[in-house]
Amino acid sequence: MTLNWRSVVGFRVRTARPVFLALCAAFAVGATSAAAATHYYRDTISTRLGTPPRYLGEVPASAAMQGGYFKVETDARGRVLRATFLEDGKPASDDVFIYPGAARLPDHARHFVNGALTGVTAFTRDADGQPTRIDFSTDQGVLTGYTTNTYFADHSDGANFAPDGTRKSHWQAYYSSDGAEIRELAYQEQGDAYTENQYDPARGIQTSSKRYMNGQMRIAYNNTYDADDDLIRQDLYDENNKWYGAKIYEHNLQTKALFKFLSGETREIRYTYDQRRWATSTQQYEGDVLICTFLFERLPDGTIKRTIAQGPDGSLWAEYPNLMVVQVTKDGHPPNSTAGDIHKVGDWW
């Protein structure tokens, strides 16, 4: 699943974002329904039309009691009114979609976690229904960021910004003939590194992911999914096809990352979450030694406001505004980046 907007509902792990034909054809759920209905789906995929995503792999309600699934409620016209992400049959989060009059696509979405409103998303669309700007706000209407999209025949260029206009990320999304996102190039803000992701338009899962640096492929990711199409493991291989790491997932949340470098040194990143399923911290271990803890400060809608790095004694080692930093190199900066206000001088280990 890839989404081109920051929905909490859409948080089913697929690892990564989203030629317009007919609006009704691309708006896949219940397009011919004669009455309001509730459907259950295993997967989603992003489309040129953005939100809601395209829901895939319909199952009976009884099959949605284990793993991650989507409960989708539609009106008599087939428009998605509410999408609930279920984890083992229990609601984890909800999105409620608001439509202007008789429009086929929403111009707002309200995001709920554990029944509490956490944020609002507003969509500005072009004549074809494609979202050209997406504004993210708290439940009090305070802007927390925005995304812009420019559309071409086979792809779109997108970027995400902080409220002050600072660009935080940018990407290109490529689409199939019926508008499903099938390929993405996600660029690092500093340097020339980027990640190429490819997606199965029938299942929504990521079929290939490769990391490029200086124009050369440096990392290939091999994904393992369970019977419910939930990602449970992602193994990392270098350009010589040598294994050097893995990311582990449980209940659609990453729990740890393991690395073994050519030097023989090892690293482990451990994740902690709150009851909203939002990451609150990570711990970085080099070998068996705890190096530091990263604490994530968020705005009410979940947007990262700042990451703080603390030493084992709780002292402040670094601050990273508008960034979620889960690991660093010896100088305290994220890998392949110079971001951050570093307070601890010298090597961290």
Which pLDDT tens digit goes with each residue over 227-260? 999 999 999 999 999 999 999 999 999 999 999 9
Return the percentage of the chain with pLDDT > 70, whole number. 90
Residue range 314-325: average pLDDT? 96
Which of 131, 90, 96 lies closest to 4 in space, CA to CA?
131
Q: What's the pTM?
A: 0.85
* Residues 308, 248 contacting (CB under 8 angstroms): no
CATH of 261-349, one of 1.10.8, 1.10.1200, 2.40.128, 3.30.450: 2.40.128
Lowest-confidence pick of 4-13, 137-146, 265-274, 289-298: 4-13
Mean pLDDT of 292-320: 97
Write the CA distances from 74 to 35, 37, 101, 221, 239, integer angstroms: 8, 5, 16, 36, 46
The predicted model gives 190-200 an average pLDDT of 92
Q: What pLDDT score was predicted for residue 34?
A: 57
What is the C-alpha separation between 251 and 233, in angstroms, rounded?
A: 12
CA atoms of 145 and 299, how far apart (whole Å)? 11
So where are the chain's domains?
1-232, 261-349
Name 86's Cβ contacts closer than 8 Å, sequence gap at least 6.
64, 68, 69, 70, 71, 92
Q: Which residue matches tokens 């802007």?
A: 143
Looking at residue 191, what is its pLDDT?
A: 79
Are 255 and 268 within 8 A, CB to CB? no
pLDDT band at 46 (very low <50, low <70, confident <90, very high): very high
Report whether pLDDT(43) > 50.
Answer: yes
> Looking at residues 48-67, what average pLDDT do you find?
95
Q: Please give the pLDDT value at position 7.
A: 37
Residue 108 · residue 115 · CB < 8 Å? no
pLDDT, tens digit, 9 for 90 and up, residues 84-119: 999 999 999 999 999 999 999 999 999 999 999 999
Question: For residue 200, is pLDDT > 50?
Answer: yes
> Between these two residues, 116 and 23, which has the higher pLDDT value?
116
Quote the pLDDT of residue 330.
Answer: 96
Asked whether the CA dihedral 324, 243, 267, 189 is positive or negative, the reply is negative
User: How sure is the predictor about 35, in pLDDT bands with cuts at 50, 70 and 90?
Assistant: confident
| Short-list 307, 317, 311, 271, CA closest to 291 | 311
* pLDDT averaged over every residue in the chain: 90
Q: Could you read off the pLDDT of 133-181 as tens digits, one per residue?
A: 999 999 999 999 999 999 999 999 999 999 999 999 999 999 999 999 9
Contact predicate 194/212, CB 8 Å: yes
Given a cut of 60, whether residue 64 has pLDDT beyond it is: yes
Supply the DSSP string of 223-280, one letter for each residue.
Answer: EEE-TTS-EEEEEEE-TTS-EEEEEEEETTEEEEEEEE-TTS-EEEEEEEE-TTS-EE
What is the CB neighbour count within 10 angstroms for residue 103? 12
DSSP SS3 for 112: strand
